[in-house]
Amino acid sequence: MSLPVHLVPTLAGVGVGGTVEVTGDEAHHAVTVRRLRVGERVVLTDGAGTSVTGEVASTGKKVFTIGVTDLAYADRPAPSITVVQAIPKGDRGELAVEVLTEIGVEAIVPWAAARCVAVWRGERAEKSLAKWRSTAREAAKQSRRSWFPTVAPLATTDAVAELLRGAEVSVVLHEAATTSLASVAIPESGSIVVVVGPEGGITDEELAAFAAAGATSVRLGTEVLRTSTAGLAATSALLARTSRWA
């Protein structure tokens, strides 16, 4: 059975034989909700490649400590994949974030596309972004990631185009594209950016802006996927052609 994973702010200076104290909401959830007990083994990670395993030595209302028995460091996965996700309606955004995190995406960028049904403004934007980030954090723990993904602030089309310019490979999923995703050359390192459009589709102006930034419009197949699942399908197809899934 897999050990539970908990996120801590830092593991700097921690070594085998040392003690780590976990406090705040993370500890409260572990002790009160999960009913963590002394003697159980858990994994702690800083979300930046370092993880420790150990036995729970003590628990309190919003605190627990572990004695470290193992220390591990994982290299950052390469190539990295960033998914630009147009804002879906309802709770489909959290679904997209959850599955993208589970599969190993390094960054998720919410995009205010012209034809998005849902609109993030003011307090709603803050709450929605916080929900996406919370979803990514919990999914990263569930999938036992050593490197947690980042969820960027809401991006405009111009900001997405700028992101595409800095990528080794960038693709835009589009049902009318004549190029297959399977034909795109995949680098062994560097960054790959995948753009997923909204329910209403990507506009001609957006496609032109992304093409000018170096992106290639690609199709997955004859089927048209929902915006909340297209990113997962594309990322899976890409990862299957890298050493990460070898």
Mean pLDDT of the region 231-235: 97
Confidence of residue 20 (pLDDT cuts 50, 70, 90): very high
Q: In what order do the strands lie in the sheet containing 5-7?
A: 5-7, 41-45, 50-59, 63-73, 19-23
CA 181 to chain centre: 21
**C-alpha–C-alpha distance, residues 14 and 26, integer Å:** 19
CB-CB contact of 105 with 147 (8 Å): no
CB-CB contact of 5 with 144 (8 Å): yes
Q: What is the pLDDT of residue 104?
A: 97
CA 105 to chain centre: 5
Domains of the chain as residue ranges with CATH:
5-73 (2.40.240.20), 80-245 (3.40.1280.10)
Q: What is the pLDDT of residue 47?
A: 97
CB atoms within 10 A of CB 96: 28
Q: What is the pLDDT of residue 171?
A: 98
Q: What is the pLDDT of residue 184?
A: 95
Q: What is the pLDDT of residue 235?
A: 97
pLDDT tens, residue by residue, 104-159: 999 999 999 999 999 999 999 999 999 999 999 999 999 999 999 999 999 999 99
pLDDT tens, residue by residue, 146-197: 999 999 999 999 999 999 999 999 999 999 999 999 999 999 999 999 999 9
**C-alpha–C-alpha distance, residues 88 and 198, integer Å:** 6
Q: What is the pLDDT of residue 246?
A: 85
Q: What are the two backbone dihedrals, phi and then psi, of residue 80, each rounded to the nearest 5 degrees?
A: -85, 150
Helix 92-103 to helix 122-142 angle (10° resolution) is 30
Q: What is the pLDDT of residue 36?
A: 93
Q: What is the pLDDT of residue 176?
A: 92
Mean of the per-residue pLDDT values for the chain?
A: 96
pLDDT tens, residue by residue, 49-97: 999 999 999 999 899 999 999 999 999 999 999 999 999 998 999 999 9
**C-alpha–C-alpha distance, residues 12 and 229, integer Å:** 37
Q: What are the two backbone dihedrals, phi and then psi, of residue 45, each rounded to the nearest 5 degrees?
A: -135, 150
Mean pLDDT of the region 34-54: 96
Helix 92-103 to helix 227-239 angle (10° resolution) is 10
pLDDT exceeds cutoff 80 at 1 = no
Q: What is the pLDDT of residue 2?
A: 85
Q: What is the pLDDT of residue 129?
A: 97
